[in-house]
Amino acid sequence: MVRFLTNYELLKKADAIAIYEDTINFDKYTQPVKDFITNIVNSDNDEEYFVLPSHTRIVNGEPTANPRYLEPSRHIEETEESYLADTGIRLLRKIKFDQPVVHVVNAVLPGRRNNPVDKAAGIRPLAVYNPIHYQETPELFMDFICSLTGKSPSTTGAGSEGALTKAPFNMLTPTTDLNNALLSHILTESNGFSTAAGYVGAENKIDHDVSLLIPEIWARLEPKDRDPKKLIQNGSLEKLEDFEHNGQTILASRLGYRITKTFSLRCLNRLFDEPTAVFNEKMLKPELQGLEDYVDGINNIVEAQEKVALSYFEDGSIEAAIPPLKILLHIMAYGSYEGKNINDPELRMYFDRDYVINSDWYKERLEIKQKKDICFYDSQIAYLETFMKNPNNDALVSEMKIKEQLDTVKERFNSVKSNDYINRLVGTIGADPLYHK
């Protein structure tokens, strides 16, 4: 079994012996950890390295409060719960037992970390969201592109993590992943509901309570009951509008929609006897906890989005952005695109699925995808035919069923060359023109 751990102190056998001989503290470990330490003590390898949950890495003379670990996937080995889940879906969808069960994604439920102002640490407020927000695609992806995070209990800082914080490990143009993510979101017509973690307003510390609660709520709602259009229509969601404060326009519309008491009554009754008592008025309207912090929190978001978006202009990657992404980056950086703000119906049309699939730039992506697939299968045919012509491979041709594989590849080659293939690609992200040769 392999585990990946970071920010833990690297220990050796001498450390294991010292820990083992510290009888009082050694007894505080669970039995599996005791056995693990004992095995290290009794091993013949003096150079063996190990880590313990009690010994995090020393940073600036103190144990870090930010350890990280990845556990083995619970899906690798089947459990009773996973079997029942797969079997239930198989029966509902009438999937044959020789066919795989594909678990579809039908909810996008990101969490966001919020914090009140911390003047001593120089951290601005970010507790402007109520427990659950819905954002339409433009506002949601402006948030995703910026990835602004509040102060974490395990770290000292706060600010934008950016959509591509792992850029040093990404050999693609910065806009490539954003193009694919945004296009996928538009094509699947997904709805993004985000939950608050940390704080709701300056007064209400909630940690991850709502983040853990929302999957339970969504699992109990019929698809029609979590349709944002219906939630807006019945008053469960209210739209936040821009407003004037001390002569400045505050772009509160970037926050999208937020839940109301009606949402609590209609949707939380699956879990609570008194659903409307779960979130009080100040939690539903964080501005009531302090308007100045609320205003500065929104400005914090807008300014961070501007800073992140400008980097795409500075490195030139804006030129590789698909039209909807190019619009968002202009709005984030400069507040408008071709003289229009993001509330303009003409701009919002670019985020509509019907518009996208009928646009020339999307059709070009599908054509490029077809060309790439044709080249791929053509090269595979050439490879298999060359393999078969080599007399040294005669035994392998039969053993590996190369002729059958060649027939299959030729069949797929003819399929991707057909005029109907592009029609079958509609709804996929196609291929990026930037990497087409």
pLDDT, mean of residues 207-232: 88
**Percent share of the chain, pLDDT over 90:** 62
Residues 180-202: pLDDT tens digits? 999 999 999 999 999 998 899 88
Q: What is the pLDDT of residue 224?
A: 86
**Percent share of the chain, pLDDT over 70:** 92
The CA distance from 352 to 340, in Å, is: 17
User: What are the C-alpha distances in Å from 87 to residues 83, 97, 105, 381?
Assistant: 6, 9, 18, 39
Contact 165, 147 (CB under 8 A): yes
Helix (H, G, I), strand (E, B) or coil at 267: helix
Residues 244-259: pLDDT tens digits? 999 999 999 999 999 9
**Nearest one of 203, 199, 109, 201 to 152, comparing CA atoms:** 199
The CA distance from 433 to 437, in Å, is: 8
Contact 66, 155 (CB under 8 A): yes
Element housing 381 (H / E)? helix 360-389
Residues 291-308: pLDDT tens digits? 999 999 999 999 999 999
Residues 73-124: pLDDT tens digits? 655 677 788 889 889 999 999 999 899 888 888 888 998 889 999 888 888 9
The CA distance from 135 to 49, in Å, is: 48
Residues 362-421: pLDDT tens digits? 999 999 999 999 999 999 999 999 999 999 998 999 999 999 999 999 999 999 999 899
For residue 232, give every residue at least 6 positions away whose Cβ sits within 8 Å of its Cβ, in sequence order, or none.
Answer: 239, 257
Q: What is the pLDDT of residue 123?
A: 87
Judged against a pLDDT cut of 80, whether residue 152 lies above it is answered with no
Amino acid at 404: E
Judged against a pLDDT cut of 70, whether residue 157 lies above it is answered with no
Contact 222, 254 (CB under 8 A): no
User: What are the C-alpha distances in Å from 167 to residues 141, 176, 197, 314, 349?
Assistant: 18, 11, 26, 15, 31
> Mean pLDDT score of the chain, rounded to an integer?
89
Query: What is the DSSP pairing of strand 257-259 with strand 132-135?
Result: antiparallel
Would the CA dihedral through 309, 345, 251, 239 be positive or negative?
negative
Tell me how crowded residue 167 is: count the other CB atoms within 10 A of its CB: 14
Residues 40-54: pLDDT tens digits? 999 888 777 898 888
Instruction: Between 64 and 373, name the one with better pLDDT.
Output: 373
Which pLDDT band holds residue 2 (cuts at 50, 70, 90)? Answer: low
Helix (H, G, I), strand (E, B) or coil at 427: coil
Which pLDDT band holds residue 69 (cuts at 50, 70, 90)? Answer: low
pTM (two decimals): 0.79
Q: Could you tell me the two tokens for 343? A: 């509330």
Contact 179, 164 (CB under 8 A): no
Q: Could you tell me the two tokens for 232? A: 């807006």
Which pLDDT band holds residue 287 (cuts at 50, 70, 90)? Answer: very high
Alpha helices, DSSP H, located in 77-202:
80-93, 137-146, 174-188
Q: Could you tell me the two tokens for 274? A: 């008194």
Residues 21-36: pLDDT tens digits? 999 999 999 998 999 9
Q: What is the pLDDT of residue 80?
A: 85
Which pLDDT band holds residue 155 (cuts at 50, 70, 90)? Answer: low
The CA distance from 108 to 194, in Å, is: 8
Contact 10, 49 (CB under 8 A): yes
Alpha helices, DSSP H, located in 208-359:
209-219, 228-233, 261-267, 281-284, 291-314, 323-334, 345-348, 353-357
Q: Which residues pair with 198 in a beta bridge?
A: 207
Residues 160-176: pLDDT tens digits? 665 545 555 567 788 88
- Name residue, tokens 């009754």: 269
User: What are the C-alpha distances in Å from 386 to residues 236, 383, 408?
Assistant: 64, 5, 16
**Nearest one of 280, 305, 289 to 163, comparing CA atoms:** 305
Q: Cα angle vertex 162, ends 156, 166, to 5°?
A: 90
Q: Which residues pair with 108 in a beta bridge?
A: 192
Q: Out of 2-6, 210-214, 393-397, 409-413, pick the least confident.
A: 2-6
Instruction: Between 156 and 66, name the one with better pLDDT.
Output: 66
